[in-house]
A and B are shown apart, each in its own frame.
Chain A
């Protein structure tokens, strides 16, 4: 057990901190909204230049070209959080498509897409889930029929975030309806401007449209958009699904929210008493703190496994389930602590934290369901973590 870092890494931390301090004045502010905001793109390019974004992506494709180093990546994330500096761009193009392309894309695909994506000039959306294919993703039915150098796509996708803003989509389509469920799927990319694509915003319980439905009617797309080859899309997608689940439930993000909750309970008073001085609320706060600390320690354990190149086992499998639940519980306590004022939303003079606690209490429930429902996570924990038997398949009628 050794939790301090070698001098090499402490020096790296000082260097990162210094870079952030020197350039902080160039960071985007809350005024800089929207996906292709010039200041945000300039900031992203600056971060890449200094190795604080797209760190391990080869120079040839617009990245920094650094060696993979889990500790350095961790230090960078910690320094952004500690100094409250706006971080690198995220999004499904950067976090899911780019790693897929690096692993399985052709040289032409890498050249065409990686640089504009990591620089924030090209926005992507993900076309996986369908109305009839949620937890059972491999049941997807959106069809792609060959027509010379093209596929003709028909069907629809759901839960597509940023579909309105996206330039491109990476999408799972069924190319071989006769094959077994997992074997007739192709992973394909194409422009969202292709004729026949309709995007309808899907308003959710938060009151805004964080997701969309996307409809394809005779959408003709070139075969050159296929990643790897036809009918192996399930394997291609699985590489990045693991990645998505790793992002949901990040204990450092949870800790930041917890600290906001502590501040709220110290600053707010009811009947002349600070919220934190109410023993019932304080007990709930401490209970959440024990969970936050436990998930942080669990995260350290996972980092060590990754450094050693060993599987993280149960410690890794539980992160999405526990982390998303904990975020929801933190928001719930904030609302209970605010009491009657906790129901306020959107705007108004008594609203606290721009209504973000209520927003999170709703949105975080979405994340408990999205990215693999809590129940699917429990199946995974039981089957892969505890070696329990799978549900027997129903005999075909």
Chain B
């Protein structure tokens, strides 16, 4: 028995973090947030060179054939550095399109870039929703991810079935609290799917797990920043980290987050080996880490005092990353309801 990361997995995460420390430094992220195309493309190129696109594509389709645990480690690093990236959507596409080798080949070669319009899989609001009639998709989807520059779109219809369509032009950006990641409203007027994969419970479970891994990274960054700030900032003639009131806030953050890391590993491993409990664990992981992350986003800001509230320190980028992630692919309440349903606990 060994419940730990392999040497390769640690290396993967460390080397990615090395890349992100440069291409996704806070200065670069600030530029991306105000629409600096150069900074965006520098980050994109760095991640493409790292080979993220082909990570989850099976080897026989030209990819690296790594698993969800590896994907979670990548997503955690991206979250830690609040780096915008198409990795999550690409990873979802790669896991969903197992029976479409042509599309997988394109993903591995970096020629297909996927967007995702699946918000309505968990929540339909304001008349949104995509229906399939006579083999064509019509309707609209809110808060679609990774749409800019996408060649393909993974779309969920009103029955939660997935389809792949070619890029859609009728899109309008939706402004959110998170300026680093773009979200769009997408309109479908009779798009013909080029693929319709069957994924069952697994798709949403994987999506929720990856977003949990992103929050894990962002929350860990907020803890690290709080601990570092508390070691420097002085009040009443001593560093504030020596006051128990501050120390206990940091201990509570660490105590809440650390088991979430193990739960994500466990859920990813369970999904990787096809353990039937995998989807339950993934949904519980989304709930657990979203709740811990929300607590940490607030508490780390408070440890920074007034400075935490300013743009100067930039902590708000992580606060917003965690806040957005909490809602993506369904709230913690929805993830818990899914977990209950998967266990047959609903009447």
Binding site for B on A (CB under 8 A): 1-5, 9, 71, 262, 266, 274, 276-277, 279, 282-283, 285-287, 289-291, 293-298, 300-301, 303-305, 307-308, 314-315, 318, 321-322, 375, 377-379, 381-383, 385-392
5 A-B pairs besides A3-B269, A297-B262 with CB distance below 8 A are A294-B259, A294-B285, A295-B259, A321-B251, A385-B251
- Are B266's CB and A388's CB within 8 A? no
**Of residues 251 to 292 in B, which have CB atoms within 8 Å of A's CB atoms?**
251-252, 254-255, 258-260, 262-263, 265-266, 269, 272, 281, 284-285, 287-288, 291
Separation of A293 and B262 alpha carbons in the complex (Å): 9
Binding site for A on B (CB under 8 A): 1-6, 69, 223, 227, 230-231, 238-239, 241-244, 247-248, 250-252, 254-255, 258-260, 262-263, 265-266, 269, 272, 281, 284-285, 287-288, 291, 332-333, 336-337, 339-340, 345-347
**Chain B residue with Cβ nearest A289:** B284
- Are A1's CB and B231's CB within 8 A? no
- Are A314's CB and B258's CB within 8 A? yes
Majority-rule SS of A interface residues:
helix
Separation of A290 and B263 alpha carbons in the complex (Å): 9
**Residue in B239, B266, B272, B332 with the greatest tally of chain A CB atoms within 10 Å:** B266
- Are A300's CB and B287's CB within 8 A? no
Separation of A4 and B2 alpha carbons in the complex (Å): 9
Instruction: From known contacts A1-B269, A386-B250, A392-B238, infer whether A294 and B1 are also in contact, taking CB-CB under 8 Å.
Output: no
Which residues on the B side are within 8 Å of A301 (C-beta)? 3-4, 262, 265
- Are B337's CB and A286's CB within 8 A? yes
Instruction: From known contacts A286-B340, A322-B259, infer whether A1 and B5 are also in contact, taking CB-CB under 8 Å.
Output: yes
- Are B265's CB and A375's CB within 8 A? no
- Are A2's CB and B2's CB within 8 A? yes
Separation of A391 and B252 alpha carbons in the complex (Å): 17
- Are B252's CB and A287's CB within 8 A? no
- Are A286's CB and B336's CB within 8 A? yes
Min distance, Cβ B27 to any Cβ of chain A, angstroms: 27
Q: List 11 A-B contacts (CB under 8 A).
A: A1-B5, A1-B272, A71-B1, A285-B345, A286-B336, A290-B263, A290-B285, A294-B262, A294-B285, A315-B262, A388-B227
Q: Out of B250, B281, B333, which one reaches A283, CB within 8 Å?
A: B333
Q: Out of B248, B259, B265, B345, which one reaches A382, CB within 8 Å?
A: B248
Instruction: From known contacts A287-B287, A318-B254, A378-B247, infer whether A297 and B340 are also in contact, taking CB-CB under 8 Å.
Output: no
Separation of A298 and B84 alpha carbons in the complex (Å): 29
- Are A1's CB and B265's CB within 8 A? yes
**Chain B residue with Cβ nearest A375:** B248
Sorted nearest first, the 10 A-B pairs with minimum C-beta distance are: A294-B259, A297-B262, A286-B336, A300-B3, A378-B251, A381-B251, A297-B266, A290-B284, A382-B247, A290-B288
Min distance, Cβ B220 to any Cβ of chain A, angstroms: 11
Separation of A285 and B287 alpha carbons in the complex (Å): 12
- Are B244's CB and A379's CB within 8 A? yes
Separation of A276 and B333 alpha carbons in the complex (Å): 15
Instruction: From known contacts A286-B337, A297-B266, infer whether A322 and B255 are also in contact, taking CB-CB under 8 Å.
Output: yes
- Are B3's CB and A283's CB within 8 A? no
Which residues on the A side are within 8 Å of B337 (C-beta)? 279, 282-283, 286
Separation of A2 and B239 alpha carbons in the complex (Å): 43
Which residues on the A side are within 8 Å of B287 (C-beta)? 286-287, 290
Instruction: From known contacts A276-B345, A290-B288, A297-B266, infer whether A303 and B254 are also in contact, taking CB-CB under 8 Å.
Output: no
- Are B265's CB and A287's CB within 8 A? no
Min distance, Cβ A215 to any Cβ of chain B, angstroms: 33
Instruction: From known contacts A287-B291, A379-B244, infer whether A282 and B345 are also in contact, taking CB-CB under 8 Å.
Output: yes
